[in-house]
Amino acid sequence: MRDPGAEPEDDDFFEIDDDTSDEEESHRGAFGDYGGESSGLIERTFRERIVLVGVTQDGGDPELTDASLDELALLVDTAGADAVERVHQRRTSPDPATFIGSGKAAEVKEIAEAIDCDTVVFDDELSPAQQFNLEKILGRSALDRTAVILDIFAQNASTLEGKAQVELAQLRYRLPRLRRSGKSFSQQGGGIGTRGPGETQLEVDRRRLVRRVHKLEADLRRVQSHRVTQSKARSRTRNRAVALVGYTNAGKSSLLNRLTDADVLVEDRLFATLDATTRKLPLPGGETVFATDTVGFVRKLPHQLVTAFKTTLDVVRDADLLVHVVDGSGPDPEGSIAAVRDVLEEIGAGDVPELMVFNKADRGDGAERLAARYEGSVAASAHSGFNLDLVLATIGDRVRSMTELAELLVPWDRGDVLASVHREGQVLSEAPEEAGMRLKARLEPSSLGALRDFVIADESAATTVEETLS
């Protein structure tokens, strides 16, 4: 991603000729320079009428484009507007000036005027120049999927950290799009040494926003430092970390609430939860793990958000186990799984062990069919409680597979070693003998290494819950 303080690249200035003047009154709209007085990206005094535009490029699948447009319609609805029409185009490659070409743009304008829409939303990311040129042709706001997602995040951010992350992402999105505002604000200086074009309002705005970006980045670095401190404190407890990840609205928050009584906000809409919530989760084998609910993912998740939410997503990267929650009743669970794994790769969490949980098994047999297809996965329902005991048992099995089961004999005069075993591991049994205390315990490899002198037998920890409890 380009540095926010850098000047726009040459292609950002590529424009098409148009007779529309800057002073021409445009159609009512809520985004960009065509918008109202709202500080957000969407004007909420009325529900906008939206035209959606999707493009299938050479080699692409039109059905995937339609599925992506269906999701974009849900995003638009969540943002507070109504998708009233959609336009689908096939082309070999995007047009550098307007993405869809001037002819198709004129066609979209006719459709927009016929249905009196307020904004045209494109399913793909537009460059600043493409957005500018499209707005000149359409006479109304032209948005991309990124702007809609940023607006939804702005609505749902509640904590100071979440608001800072969303603001940072919005500023990074807006900075290269400031070019338009500098046209009519050039200031002429007066006096010796000040003659010349002077400083444009664009430069003032850019410098102000860059300063704000730097401040937000510094604030989030401090938050990240606090998270590192908290992570170190948790690691000293020897409790494993489990992160719930998945597509937005897959039921992660519902699952965490059901398992831990976390009282996280649950709503049947996209991106209802943005802020990470961590709770202790007791497992059937006696272990306790830290379970964290994370922000939901989506197809074409904006890079600005991935970067801005780095402090939150570090929880995912540093987890010992990912519980990948999938909506088993959704229209395209395979596509959702692929989108989530793409984001996990992008944030450096692609190698973290994964447990698939197909949620919403109470809404048909889709979840159970998917669970049969993915080895080691579980079909469950956070709403009805179906198979949640199996989810806990499976998490416990996965966590125990990361430890080692050992039998130790600790002499009676080494009470410090006995205390260390209890402090750093999970003691399964104790039996006093003449030479000392015989223990069976599960220990981290690092802890077991320091206790090798007292180990009389060890074995793989890959046992079931029943074997552990017997």
Which CATH number belongs to the domain containing residue 103 in this structure? 3.40.50.11060
- The sheet with strand 321-327 has its strands ordered as 277-282, 288-293, 241-246, 321-327, 354-359, 378-379
Q: 32 with 117, same domain?
A: yes
Q: 421 with 396, same domain?
A: no
End residue of a domain, out of 367, 400, 433: 400
- Residue 80 CA to residue 59 CA, distance in Å, equals 34
Confirm whether 2 is domain-assigned: no
Q: 324 with 336, same domain?
A: yes
Nearest to 244 by CA among 353, 307, 317, 324: 324
Q: 309 with 270, same domain?
A: yes
- Residue 153 CA to residue 450 CA, distance in Å, equals 47
- Residue 362 CA to residue 303 CA, distance in Å, equals 35
- Residue 241 CA to residue 235 CA, distance in Å, equals 9
Alpha-carbon separation of residue 58 from 12, 52, 55, 86 (angstroms): 24, 20, 10, 20
Burial classification of residue 416, based on how many CB atoms lie within 10 Å of its CB (0-12 exposed, 13-18 middle, 19 or more buried): exposed
- The DSSP secondary-structure symbol of 296 reads P
Task: Say which residues have a Cβ less than 8 Å from residue 329's Cβ, sequence separation at least 6.
Answer: 360, 363, 364, 366, 367
Confirm whether 4 is domain-assigned: no
Q: What is the pLDDT of residue 42?
A: 52
Q: 248 with 373, same domain?
A: yes
- Residue 188 CA to residue 297 CA, distance in Å, equals 48
Q: 258 with 331, same domain?
A: yes
List for the chain the helix, strand, coil content (%; round to 5).
45, 20, 35
- The dihedral through the CA atoms of 133, 136, 137, 140 has a sign that is positive
Q: 93 with 202, same domain?
A: no
Confirm whether 233 is domain-assigned: no
Q: 453 with 412, same domain?
A: yes
Is 76 in contact with 59 (CB distance < 8 Å)?
no
pTM attached to this predicted model: 0.72
Confirm whether 267 is domain-assigned: yes
- Residue 393 CA to residue 207 CA, distance in Å, equals 55
Nearest to 391 by CA among 415, 361, 365: 361
Confirm whether 217 is domain-assigned: yes
Q: What is the pLDDT of residue 121?
A: 95
Q: 169 with 55, same domain?
A: no
- The sheet with strand 82-91 has its strands ordered as 82-91, 49-57, 119-122, 141-144
- Residue 469 CA to residue 284 CA, distance in Å, equals 9
Confirm whether 249 is domain-assigned: yes
pLDDT per position in the chain (470 positions), as tens?
A: 444 444 444 444 344 444 444 444 444 444 333 333 344 555 556 788 999 999 999 888 898 899 889 989 989 988 889 999 999 999 999 999 999 999 999 999 999 999 999 899 999 999 999 999 999 999 999 999 999 988 888 887 777 877 888 888 888 888 888 764 444 444 444 445 544 555 567 777 888 889 998 998 888 888 777 776 766 665 655 678 899 999 988 889 899 999 987 666 566 666 666 667 888 898 887 778 899 988 888 888 777 777 777 766 788 888 999 999 999 998 889 989 998 999 899 888 989 999 999 999 999 999 999 999 999 999 999 999 999 999 999 999 898 888 888 899 999 999 999 988 887 777 888 999 999 999 998 887 777 888 888 988 655 443 433 344 34
Domain range for 438 is 404-469
Please give the tally of structural domains in the chain.
4
Assign residue 445 the CATH number of its domain.
3.30.70
